[in-house]
A and B are shown apart, each in its own frame.
Chain A
Amino acid sequence: MRGLMKNNFYATLSGAKILSVIMILIGVFLAVVISPPLLTNYIILGIILHSVSAVSVVKEEFTSKWGKYKLTLPVRRAEIIESQFLNQLLWMAVGTLLSAAVTALSWLLHGCPFDTWFDIVTAFVLGISLSLFTGAVYFPLFHLFFHSLGAERGDFFIVLCLGCAFIFDTIIVSLINYFVEPGVKNRLFGIVILLAVSATAYALSYPLTVRIFRRREY
């Protein structure tokens, strides 16, 4: 597992370095400028983009023979999938921390940048939920259709999965708004549900992906 995590980390780092630098620069700008809508988008995007850069590593591995080579190393197929999921969680955490740092800096400079602390939590939960749904859909789909569509079309998968994640979140948020009465307590309950559903989808996606990957031939 150590080798797999190192492999995923280096692979993600090569793409995420530039992304992180750009996000830090934008973050500093947003911390100085007071704009709650921009900061909300920044929080969500920061988490999603770091998460997606980790997810896209899977595609990169199959554009060389490394994806096949890894199967000859002393690791189990389930561990390969596990490392892909853990890598996404790791980079999602990096994105979350970066967004949190920018939010904290903005708070330090100008006070709370939103009307309530609850808006900040909502933005973070949305970013995390979208990331989890993206991974939950992408991993099984990529391994299922890799042979018929090819690794080069991995970017298409990512866009497709992001789209699915937005649709899932929109449906869940709409249902929460429909069934849950307004009020901070109820809204908190709503975001807990959103987080729980996306986390459950992510957790269920793992055994499904393992099942698919065990049957794949390379």
Chain B
Amino acid sequence: MENILELEHISKSFPKSNFMLDNLSFSLPYGTILGFVGENGAGKTTTIGCILNTIMKDSGTVRLFGQEMGDNDTELREKIGVVYDGDNFPGFWTAKQLSQIMEGFYSHWDNALFQKYLTDFGLPENQKIKHFSRGMSMKLAIAAALSHHPELLILDEATSGLDPIMRDEMLDIFLDFVQEENHSILLSSHITSDLEKVADYIAFIHNGRLILTAPKDDLIYHYAVLRCKESQFQALDRADILAFRKREFQIDVLVSDRKTAVKKYKDIIADHVSIDEIMLLLVKGESL
């Protein structure tokens, strides 16, 4: 399967804050959604900045549609829709003005589609954006990102300001979007329940390092958490342990192969694990 987006060994350091993206590599195949998960400050937005050239990487390669994107590659940016968390557009514009402006940027801007989204999302055309609620602003940004028929959507915490019902509607729109086999979405979020619903792949980032990338179904169906007592934990094969976290009365151990673990450790409870719990174990837990 070909990839719409490929990151190879991306590094970027910020000496003033002591933060760095450390040798990040992952890819996003065509027709899929990749959930990019990590706590606040883990490096999600920095990674997206490196992909979109708003931040200059120190080293590594980013390939979009099979090629590296420089400042002059405007035709590549025609195929990308972006939504940032928060105020994407100046507050003194109206949705109508936004459409007129976007029409000047994108050769395939579809005003009829934009109007449809405005109607579907219940957004007023002539009200200034500064009077929009956070949820309305995010919906407007999603409408704008979709209305030039992009092939790749890059969404940085795009669902964070929305209520659960609206989030669900947006997720349906994202799923519709990837029905076209040449469409893909990079969805950065810390709302892991959203990713469980729509993502095909999950990439976990922590302190600027990618700690796990896997198909979502693998995580949900194959990964497991073993609830061990101290003595059981000591008896575990170290190679099976991805991460562990000591709790008050037990030790939670993340393993990548539930079936094998159940057979191998018959006296230990092996629970299915949510993405939330995987993230907690990987971020807050320890590894050997």
Give chain A's interface residues, CB within 8 Å of chain B. Answer: 2-7, 10-11, 14, 60-61, 64-66, 68-69, 71-78, 214-215, 217-218
A66→B90 contact, CB < 8 A:
yes
**CB nearest to B91 among chain A residues:** A64
Partner of A2, one of B52, B75, B104: B104
B103 interface residue (CB < 8 Å to A) = yes
Q: Which of B76-101 contact A (CB under 8 A)?
A: 77-78, 80, 82, 84, 86-93, 97, 100-101
User: Bound complex: CA of A215 vs CA of B74, how far in Å?
Assistant: 18
B72 interface residue (CB < 8 Å to A) = yes
Partner of B52, one of A10, A61, A72: A72
B71→A214 contact, CB < 8 A:
yes
Task: For chain B, give the interface size range.
Answer: 20 to 34
A217→B56 contact, CB < 8 A:
yes
Other A-B pairs, 11, CB within 8 Å; known A2-B104, A10-B92:
A6-B100, A6-B101, A7-B104, A10-B101, A72-B82, A74-B74, A74-B106, A214-B71, A217-B54, A217-B55, A218-B54
A215→B84 contact, CB < 8 A:
no
User: Bound complex: CA of A68 vs CA of B55, how far in Å?
Assistant: 10
Q: Which residues does chain A contribute within 8 Å of B101, judged by CB atoms?
A: 3, 6-7, 10
A3→B105 contact, CB < 8 A:
yes
**CB nearest to B100 among chain A residues:** A6
Q: Which residues does chain A contribute within 8 Å of B100, judged by CB atoms?
A: 6, 10
B87→A65 contact, CB < 8 A:
yes
A74→B104 contact, CB < 8 A:
no
B49 interface residue (CB < 8 Å to A) = yes
Dominant SS among interface residues on chain B: loop
Q: Which of B248-278 contact A (CB under 8 A)?
A: none
Q: Which residues does chain B contribute within 8 Å of A4, judged by CB atoms?
A: 104-105
B102 interface residue (CB < 8 Å to A) = yes
Q: Which residues does chain B contribute within 8 Å of A3, judged by CB atoms?
A: 101-106
Given known pairs A14-B92, A64-B88, A66-B88, the reply for A71 and B105 (CB within 8 Å) is no
A72→B86 contact, CB < 8 A:
no
**CB nearest to B84 among chain A residues:** A65
User: Bound complex: CA of A73 vs CA of B91, how far in Å?
Assistant: 19
User: Bound complex: CA of A64 vs CA of B92, how far in Å?
Assistant: 11
A73→B105 contact, CB < 8 A:
yes
Chain B min CB distance to A62 (Å) = 10
29 contacts between A and B (CB under 8 A): A2-B104, A3-B101, A3-B102, A3-B104, A4-B104, A5-B104, A6-B104, A7-B101, A10-B93, A10-B97, A10-B101, A11-B90, A60-B90, A60-B92, A61-B90, A65-B84, A65-B86, A66-B89, A66-B90, A68-B54, A69-B89, A72-B77, A73-B77, A74-B74, A74-B78, A74-B105, A75-B105, A217-B49, A218-B49
Given known pairs A10-B97, A64-B91, the reply for A76 and B71 (CB within 8 Å) is yes
B104→A68 contact, CB < 8 A:
no
B53 interface residue (CB < 8 Å to A) = yes
B82→A69 contact, CB < 8 A:
yes
B52→A71 contact, CB < 8 A:
yes
User: Bound complex: CA of A74 vs CA of B64, how far in Å?
Assistant: 14
Chain A min CB distance to B32 (Å) = 21
User: Bound complex: CA of A4 vs CA of B72, how far in Å?
Assistant: 16
Q: Which residues does chain A contribute within 8 Å of B55, judged by CB atoms?
A: 217-218
Partner of A64, one of B78, B87, B97: B87
Interface centre among A2, A65, A72 (most CB of B within 10 A): A72
B88→A65 contact, CB < 8 A:
yes
